[in-house]
A and B are shown apart, each in its own frame.
Chain A
């Protein structure tokens, strides 16, 4: 119980928010609105899974916003070229893998600090994308692109289910597969992990590659909700994902945290925005509220003496 103190407090905070909504604005719980919140949260959750692993290994990746944009554009262009949706989606994920591998190589193989590496790739990739696309959206996509041709309701359900499956699989693997334990060990003390026979550099490379793949998937889940692909997609995405993971209890110093916490963190931040509107506040307080939630979460932790 004690080891999950943080996850429990976030869950309690989320429950409090839902309770407030239940009493003040019960219309929030209309199926249509709940569905919208979940669909919006799905890409955030998928990327949040990847980011949790990255932060667990004591690294960070602030380039996923730019990766997101590139993967979305790749998916759009492949679909436009006539490829079937599953292939276009796979292409987007592959693009994410390549970009993640770039980060991973610079951090793990050469040993450069991840915050600066991903700062560089964030700027470089975003500008390279804008240069090659001229800022133009990818339009005139085939009809099968939106909702993968499944239609709106099945498509939406599919998006949420896909995110849930990804979360469940990685959550299970993190606990029960040796590679999962290696992630925690690398973040706790990479040198000790190495001496114990693990390969921390490979682990770090791996989490960046996985981050890229999941960013690609998140981009697909997001892109298929619309009929064209914006080339400035994903702006600010990385900070929202990091905020959700941190609020969910994963320590920025590595080695501590869980996917359960990240799930609650994602739900909390994804609900906070719409909740504002239902509680009668104006939408332009959204960003301030997100920042306040992050600060409150970490400040409370600190005051209670938890190691951040």
Chain B
């Protein structure tokens, strides 16, 4: 009787871990998909990379800080420091590209290189001091389904809802800004606000998704769904719907793969599915267009 109860409880808790992981994945999938359409239209595909790599520099910073303050050598503290570092980098990229002193493309290139270098230097210093690799940091690079707390899952869902609501409320301004920023400005859109807001929303998806798909692969969530949607339609509603469906399907499938074959990390699994979906959309879109012609 006790054994049976323990087995049932064990099964229940395992499935609730799965449920939390699924909720968090689907949330990040939806928010990433909605933003990915604008990221592709605004030609910011590389921006996600830049902000995500800043997370690596952030983990490096956390690692060095943990030498001085051992209390910081735990998952939540590392995550928090990486978050602050990513947000600061996102703001710096937004500011530099806005002033047009440096093109957005170059601004991102500069920050990718600098934050990656900083991350590696920090890890090297940590190793040199004989402390080895910091605990669990590869989870941040490749993603992990283990140990997702209900608080983390709820946070992911709340952030995703916030991002989607913001985009829905400001969709007109965002669409015109992505169509042509100068045209948006002369129409009376506060383009500075929209510019910073979009970059911050992208950074938020990366920060939430980082835990899930990993720092190196989460930018794919901000490009592939939108790219797939834009291949199949010229209607914003259809593009959004395709992007969201593709993204949620890929994140759930990727998480399932990672749970089933534990040697595969969720990040690469999610991106693999997204890429297959993109290929399908690419050929379906091409065929639809040739039939129209």
| A joins B in a complex | no
